[in-house]
Amino acid sequence: MTARFTSTRGVALASLLMLLFCATGSRAVPGPKLDLPLACRLTQTCWVANYPDADPTPLARDFRCRARTYEAHDGVDFALRDLAAMASGVAVLAAAAGTVINVRDGMQDVAVTAQAARARVEGRECGNGVLLQHEDGWQTQYCHLRQGSVSVKPGQQVEHGAVLGMVGLSGQTEFPHLHFALRFNGKPIDPFTGKPLEAGCGIAAPALWQGDIEYEQVALYNAGIAAGVPDIDAIRQGKGGGQSLDPEAKALVIWVDMLGVQAGDRLRLRIVAPDGTSVVDSEQTLEKTQARRYVYVGARRRNTHWAPGEYIGDIIHTRTLDGRPQATKLEIRESVQAAPN
């Protein structure tokens, strides 16, 4: 199964963007030092779904000249694992101290998956959001907040780390995430380089982040072992997939949901039984570059029951860069209880 991961294009809050900036000429103005704009553990409870598009041509490329973005994307998308994580409440935080310029709240948290739905949010693609003004012409914008969660008002001064609202599903988006955008005098800036997006990719420059935010070439952000083919819709809602691992399950299936796969990537999925033998061991080449990709493989039960004990799932994603294979690995563990007498 595959899915297209789309987000905000040229994100706008309509009136949020109708702001005049003072000119600074060619004077170099240092950017603000930015904190992570949401309360999560990056690569553990949240992941970068899309980077800004740093290629001014129609060929979308992120700041490393790789395909972890899409055309005209002007910010960073920080994704949550599923809708259950959104419902539990993940705070959106001010990345730097500033003044609230504008807000929007009241839009519903509804995934936009059809053209008709996109038309309904035209001009309000950002959904519920907040715009902050910082010193020397810098702005940060926070989009797709949860309905009713915006907790600041225009004119209010906030410190870095102040809660602005909660991550949601409002505006033009198909998945729960925060779209974070940085601008200087109205021009989109890449927080990973501090340079205008129009400057192009491959520029060596220090990031504006306070902490070290490592580049995620791919994210194995959700995975598991299930008794049968998992329901991907249920998984992305946070309801899990398949059945419990009982000894009489008809099959064992290993699955993974990934962000940022590219054509030519290799993916290996394996389940190892308690005795060290392989229940299933599959390797495939991914044929398409996709922002999100779901893959599963499994094996049917051949005996009267599955052997009790711990089953280990190994997921290995390999990408060749500059002639060198780079592997991203994830291990998951599930137990099968002993069969009743």
Residue-wise pLDDT tens digits, 76-105: 999 999 999 999 999 999 999 999 999 999
- Asked if residue 190 and residue 238 are part of one domain, the reply reads no
Residue 235 corresponds to which tokens in the numbers above?
Answer: 């998984």
- Asked if residue 134 and residue 64 are part of one domain, the reply reads yes
What lies within 8 Å, CB to CB, of 307 at 6+ separation is 273, 274, 275, 336
How many structural domains are present in the chain?
2
Return the CATH number at 192: 2.70.70.10
Q: What would the pLDDT profile of 135-155 be if each residue is shown by its tens digit?
A: 999 999 999 999 999 999 999
Structural domain range at position 289: 219-336
- Asked if residue 161 and residue 309 are part of one domain, the reply reads no
Q: Which of 145, 119, 116, 118 is nearest to 130 (CA)?
A: 145
The reported pLDDT for the residue numbered 117 is: 75
Q: Which of 191, 138, 132 is nearest to 158 (CA)?
A: 132
- Asked if residue 227 and residue 193 are part of one domain, the reply reads no
Is the C-alpha dihedral spanning 249, 252, 256, 261 positive or negative? negative
The reported pLDDT for the residue numbered 114 is: 73
The reported pLDDT for the residue numbered 338 is: 84
- Asked if residue 249 and residue 143 are part of one domain, the reply reads no
* Percent of the chain whose pLDDT exceeds 90: 79
Burial of 247 (0-12, 13-18, 19+ CB in 10 A): middle
- Asked if residue 250 and residue 109 are part of one domain, the reply reads no
Return the CATH number at 242: 2.60.40.2550
The reported pLDDT for the residue numbered 13 is: 41
Q: What would the pLDDT profile of 240-277 be if each residue is shown by its tens digit?
A: 755 568 899 999 999 999 999 999 999 999 999 999 99
Whether residue 27 is contained in a domain is answered as: no
DSSP element (H, E) containing 77: strand 76-80
Pick out the chain residues at pLDDT < 50: 1-27
Are 133 and 98 a contacting pair, CB within 8 Å?
yes
What lies within 8 Å, CB to CB, of 275 at 6+ separation is 307
